Structure 1
Amino acid sequence: MMFLNKYFNILLQIIIGGKGGGLIIENFALNLFKAVIALIIVIDPLGNIPLFIGLTKNMKKKDKKKAFNTATIVAFFLLIVFVITGKHLLNLFNISIYSFMIAGGILLLIISIKILIYGEWTEKVISPENIGAVPIAFPLLTGPGAITTAIVILQTSGFLATLFATIIVFFFVWLTLQFIDEIHLILGRVGSTVIARLMAIFIAAIAIQFIIDGINAYK
């Protein structure tokens, strides 16, 4: 109950203002913006469009939309579950958030390097059933990179910023998947690959910053 009251009071200050309300709104908006950008870069729905197209190419349009709706819902709730339980799991194994930042940064760096080399970070393994949940929702949308980023955002920006950022990002993901054929026609395979590699550079930058922040915490 104290947990809920804490965030309810913060949300109330954001909505109605009050003493320090302007500063709270400014800080929250900045944290939310950074969180949204980080998650979009890591999840990279635009860069993964060729892969999503390939995974659903034999589906009817109705089945494809159903698969993408399932993928968005499953991926969203999966990431929220990891965000809520992530800190408790770290405490359970006596792992500090700074160690997790370093490990997560290394993982993100590996992912970014693979994207730069191959244009994607995961193998094209097509699941014969429930393709919306696996592999589109997990691990393509909510994978190691997204989970790592979300947990670190939770620690640095707070629960509300992480929650709203996740909602905003997955709404963008849902829109992308709803109009995936049209976007693919506009971007083309080359355009999507360029976006994927460009996002990989930003992922690498985020990864290095995670590592630096984690190391600095031990100094």
Structure 2
Amino acid sequence: MEFDLAFATKVFAALFAIMNPFANVPVFLSLTEGTSDGIQRRVAFTASLGTVIGCLVSALAGKLILTLFDTDVNDFRLAGGLLILLIAITMLQGSDSHVHARTPKEKVEDLDPASVAIYPLTVPLLVGPGTIATLIVFGETARTQDRITELAFGMGAFLVLLAATLLSAPFLGRHLPPEAVAITRRLMGMILAALGVEMIVTSLRIAFPGLSS
């Protein structure tokens, strides 16, 4: 079967929109503020590894997990679409999503910089409900339409970019203006909103076949 570049690009764009590595650079820097470059690199590496594991589990075992809870993929697609749409709306408004919530300021100072790699950086900041929902849907689509290679390519390309961004966070933090972060967040919000609407429409057409006509 011919390689479906459009599907791979959609996977990459969806993950980029949800996790938005560049917009999360200031968060990474605030969580590791006052630490050495070595600790920052360790946090970045651990967070990247944790994100890879979380994404693989969501994409490969998501259907099995849903089966254990007696939940249909289409039900999860509808719920995931609504969830992603809510995240997109908060991004378009220029605020952080309550779903991919940042750690409250009053608690950031109390965190051990070495421990923030898993919580809250990996979960729920990067691998939050929106990410999990998206990957479960993409994983099921890839299995049913024989697009595993495209899924792996799109997901792998994004995870490489994410790791490179986190490892470069100290450098980017000195050169990335706040305006660029704000513009990126809103642009990704539009892409994410379109993806959420597509997931909702698809699930409704499956649940109500009459809508397709």
TM-score by length of 2: 0.84
Residue 91 (str. 1) matches residue 70 (str. 2): no
2:119 aligns with one of 131, 134, 137: 134
Runs of 4 or more off by more than 4 Å in structure 1? none
Q: Render the CA deviation track for 1:99-124: whole Å, top value 9, x for unaligned.
A: 11110011111111222234322133
The answer as to whether partners of 1:47 and 1:195 remain within 8 angstroms in 2 is yes
* SS of residue paired to 2:2: helix
Give the RMSD, CA atoms, in angstroms.
Answer: 1.7
1:154 aligns with one of 104, 115, 139: 139
Residue 123 (str. 1) matches residue 102 (str. 2): yes
1:200 aligns with one of 189, 193, 196: 189
The match for 1:71 is 47
The answer as to whether partners of 1:51 and 1:124 remain within 8 angstroms in 2 is no
The match for 2:3 is 26
| Structure with higher helix content | 1
Amino acid at match of 1:63: I
Deviation of 1:217 after TM superposition, in Å, equals 0.7
Q: Render the CA deviation track for 1:33-88: whole Å, top value 9, x for unaligned.
A: 22112111111111222212211112111111110100000111122112222101
2:152 aligns with one of 157, 160, 163: 163
Name the CA distance, whole Å, in 2 between partners of 1:86 and 1:217: 19
Name the CA distance, whole Å, in 1 between partners of 2:57 and 2:92: 30
Unaligned runs of 5+ in 2: none
Amino acid at match of 1:124: T
Amino acid at match of 2:197: I
Q: Percent identity?
A: 25
The answer as to whether partners of 2:19 and 2:131 remain within 8 angstroms in 1 is yes
Shift of the 26–80 alpha-carbon distance from structure 1 to 2, 3 Å rule, reads closer
**Paired residue total:** 195
The match for 2:173 is 184
The answer as to whether partners of 2:85 and 2:193 remain within 8 angstroms in 1 is yes
Structure showing greater radius of gyration is 1
